[in-house]
Amino acid sequence: MTIEEQIKEWLFSQGMWENQAAAIVEIMKADDANKAMAGRWGEDYPDALFPALLPSVKQAALDYIDANCPQTHLRHLFTRH
């Protein structure tokens, strides 16, 4: 499974809609902090390493939520540790 697919699948499993998950991946791709990932989003990524991506995924999800649906009941899922 690719990095992008894993992120989208995880976000969907947390209750996000597919279009929201896709938008969050786009936020991550546009973030300068993820420049090193350019060209790698479609590569396979070991499941065991996915937890290393979670802080970035959660922050992108919060950025999306704050900009698009600040009252969503899902916000708490991305702020817990």
What tens digit of pLDDT does each residue of 46-55 get? Answer: 888 888 889 9
Query: Cβ neighbours of residue 77 under 8 Å, at least 6 residues apart?
Result: 14, 15
pLDDT confidence of 80, banded at 50, 70, 90? low
19 burial type by CB count under 10 A (0-12 exposed, 13-18 middle, 19+ buried)? exposed
pLDDT confidence of 81, banded at 50, 70, 90? low
Please answer whether residues 81 and 23 qualify as being in contact, where contact means their C-beta atoms are separated by less than 8 angstroms: no
Domain boundaries, the chain: 3-78
What tens digit of pLDDT does each residue of 10-65 get? Answer: 999 999 999 999 999 999 999 998 888 888 899 998 888 888 889 999 999 999 99
pLDDT confidence of residue 50: 86
